[in-house]
């Protein structure tokens, strides 16, 4: 009998477009590894801030990155990235990290350091006998897994996204992060050609997940 397909699902989109919420639900429904790459950029940012390495000091930044060791902890169906054996703390969602993360994420050396690690998580999902992985971020369908079996791009009106984040009780510089993320030279946030574009402004989370699930189910169905 042929092996069942191993499916990679890429979800990209701006801040508070619904990437993490939908990816978590899809991971549970289809038995996929959930990978929130934003949390990786946030973890690196928190670590560099803790070490006092500013995004403007490329030499110090290169030295700090070269010394960082990444490893993975699986919790349920989620992959957590450890830096030098340490998991990310709550501070990765702080206002300070919100304000700095897009500056560090624009630096090619930071992105390069994460590239191989992110791709390697497909093997981690296979080792855990999962049916695939769902990875969310800004450049997953364009750079990390351009050949992913499913590539989604989530849109939502900026005002609606700001409301969603505020409803979570979180202070966030959504507009400024979007501006920096779309305008950077390396791996900018954009809808990759061929990706399925979903405007969730007037959709509930459940409706978005239903649309995505219908497409994923066809890819996982035996031929």
Chain positions 167 to 196 lying near ligand CDP, rule: CB under 6 A, are 168, 177, 181
Q: Is 78 in the site for ligand CDP (CB under 6 A)?
A: no
Q: Provide the minimum distance between the beta carbon of 148 and ligand CDP in the complex, in angstroms, as a whole number.
A: 13
Strand partners, 197: 153
Residue 13 burial class via C-beta count within 10 angstroms: exposed 0-12, middle 13-18, buried 19 and up = buried
Interface residue with ligand CDP, options 49, 107, 137, 220 (CB under 6 A): 137
In this structure, the number of other CB atoms found within 10 A of the CB of residue 102 comes to 23
- 19 or 151: whose CB is closer to ligand CDP? 19
Among 8, 10, 27, 42, binds ligand CDP (CB under 6 A): 42
Torsion of CA 195, 133, 43, 157, to 10 degrees: 30
The β-bridge partners of 132 are 7, 32
Binding mask 193-222 for ligand CDP (x = CB under 6 A): -------x--xxx--x--------------
| Binding segment (CB under 6 A) for ligand CDP, from list 14-22, 49-57, 61-69, 123-131 | 14-22
Answer for the pair 43, 126: CB distance below 8 angstroms, yes or no: no
Task: Give the residue, chosen from 32, 34, 41, 61, that forms a contact with ligand CDP under the rule CB under 6 A.
Answer: 41
**CB of 12 or CB of 221, closer to ligand CDP:** 12
Tokens 């035996």 sit at which residue?
A: 222
CA distances from 154 to 10, 42, 177, 189 (A): 11, 20, 16, 11
Of the candidate residues 9, 18, 150, 220, the single one contacting ligand CDP (CB under 6 A): 18
> Is 21 an interacting residue with respect to ligand CDP (CB under 6 A)?
yes
Partners of 70 in beta bridges: 83
| Structure token pair of residue 7 | 């499916």
- Residue 138 binds ligand CDP (CB under 6 A): yes
d(CA 53, CA 59): 10
**Sites of contact with ligand CDP (CB under 6 A):** 13, 15-21, 37-39, 41-42, 101-102, 105, 137-139, 164, 168, 177, 181, 200, 203-205, 208
């Amino acid at each position: 009998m042929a092996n069942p397909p191993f499916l990679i699902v890429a979800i990209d989109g701006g801040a508070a477009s619904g990437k993490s919420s939908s990816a978590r639900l899809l991971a549970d429904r289809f038995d996929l590894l959930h990978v929130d790459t934003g949390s990786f950029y946030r973890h690196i940012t928190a670590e560099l801030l803790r070490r006092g390495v500013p995004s403007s000091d490329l030499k110090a930044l290169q030295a700090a990155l070269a010394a960082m060791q990444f490893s993975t902890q699986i919790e349920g169906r989620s992959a957590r990235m450890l830096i030098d054996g340490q998991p990310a703390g709550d501070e990765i969602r702080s206002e300070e990290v919100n304000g700095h993360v897009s500056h560090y994420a624009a630096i090619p050396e930071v992105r390069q350091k994460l590239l191989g690690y992110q791709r390697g998580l497909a093997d981690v999902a296979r080792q855990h006998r999962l049916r695939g992985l769902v990875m969310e971020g800004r450049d997953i369908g364009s750079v990390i897994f351009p050949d992913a079996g499913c590539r989604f791009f989530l849109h939502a009106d900026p005002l609606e996204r700001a409301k969603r984040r505020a409803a979570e009780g979180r202070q966030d510089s959504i507009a400024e992060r979007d501006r920096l993320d779309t305008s950077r030279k390396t791996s900018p946030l954009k809808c990759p050609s061929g990706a399925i574009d979903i405007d969730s402004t007037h959709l509930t989370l459940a409706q978005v997940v239903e649309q995505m699930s219908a497409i994923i189910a066809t890819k996982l169905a035996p031929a």
